[in-house]
Structures are given as C-alpha cells and as structure tokens.
C-alpha cells in the first residue's frame, strides 16, 4: 500500500470525475489484479471522493510468462508493472532491492532444489484485503521440500578451479615463450 495522496486539480479517470483535493491511495496489488469475480471499484470514506481501481492483467492467478515476452521471445517492458512505484515517491532502494532479490534467488536456486510435497497442488492465491493485501488464510496441508545440491556445487567449483589453474599455467607458459623469443630476436639484432 502506498501513502495517501490527494488530487491537486480536477481529474477525469475513464468515466469518473474526481474534484480537486480528492483523497486517493494507490494499491499496486489491486492495479494488477483483474478477475471477473473480483474486478471492482472500491469507495473509501474520503470526504466527497472515491478511490478508483483500474485493472491491468486478466487471469492474475494463472502463471503466464507471455505477459512479459514479446512475439520474438524477448523480454518486453510492461509499463503498468510498478512494484517500486514511480515519480517523486518511488522507492529509493529499488536498485539495491532488485540486486539483492536477484542474488538471493540465484543463490537459493543454485544451492537447493525445491519441490512441493503434493505434486500439482499449490496454496491459495486469494488475498484478504485490509490496510494491506495479505495471503488468504490456509491450512498447512502442503510443504516445500528443500534438498541441498552439494554434489553439483562441489563439481562446479572443482571444475572452475581446475579451469582457472590450467588457464594461468597456459598464460604463464605463453608469456615465458614470448619473453624468450623477444630476448633471442633482440640479441640477433644487437649481433648484426
């Protein structure tokens, strides 16, 4: 949930008119959520005004990577996806947060193999709305199993170290050969 704002002048959003000084709250979880059963306009008790929720993605509970991939198979920028907000009130730590999320996820997936106890079953994606959007309460009838990928990590590290040692040995041999050839050619030039 974002901080409450208010309009500085009269604004039109679709078919709705909002007068100046209308209290509004931008909830990113609602902006990206669109489902026939839950698409709605929610009115909050701001004086003389309302908050309008505009939906972006159809079928938000479906895993659909095509939302972010263009026809050529390249990653496309979705302007509506603003988890760190935009404008003057955007998150100052966005770059750090993205880097940390990438490093954490990459390390987690590199070191562990994750799987569900019950194949094909997932926890509910429904949200409970309040001041913030929370996961829908659920029973703990499923669990995530974590297996350490020790053999793969040890194998990769051993291979990488061997490769680096071989490259260093090769480069040292090449540099010595070059130095000897240069020394021989320099001595030939001096002798002639």
Annotated binding site: 91
| 138-144: long-range pairs with CB below 8 Å, 24+ | 142/116, 142/117, 142/118, 143/116, 143/117, 144/114, 144/115, 144/116, 144/117
Q: In sequence order, what are the beta bridge partners of 148? A: 112
**Distance (Å) of CA 13 to CA 21, 57, 87, 122:** 15, 18, 19, 37
Matching residue, tokens 């000897």: 180
49, 77 in Cβ contact below 8 A? Answer: no
Binding-site sequence positions for heme: 91
Closest CA to 83 of 92, 94, 96: 94
């Amino acid at each position: 949930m974002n901080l409450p704002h208010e309009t500085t002048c009269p604004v039109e959003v679709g078919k709705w008119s909002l007068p100046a000084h209308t209290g509004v709250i931008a909830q990113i979880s609602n902006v990206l959520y669109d489902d026939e059963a839950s698409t709605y306009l929610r009115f909050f008790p701001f004086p003389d005004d309302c908050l309008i929720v505009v939906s972006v993605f159809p079928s938000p509970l479906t895993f659909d990577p095509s939302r972010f991939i263009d026809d050529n198979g390249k990653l496309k920028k979705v302007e509506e996806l603003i988890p760190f907000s935009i404008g003057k009130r955007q998150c100052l730590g966005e770059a750090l947060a993205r880097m940390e999320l990438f490093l954490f996820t990459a390390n987690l997936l590199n070191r562990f193999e994750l799987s569900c106890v019950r194949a094909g079953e997932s926890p509910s994606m429904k949200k409970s709305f309040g001041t913030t959007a929370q996961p829908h309460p659920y029973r703990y009838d499923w669990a995530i199993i974590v297996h350490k990928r020790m053999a793969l990590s040890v194998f990769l590290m051993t291979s990488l170290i061997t490769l680096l040692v071989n490259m260093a040995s090769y480069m040292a041999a090449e540099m010595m050969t070059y130095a000897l050839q240069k020394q021989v050619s320099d001595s030939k030039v001096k002798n002639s």
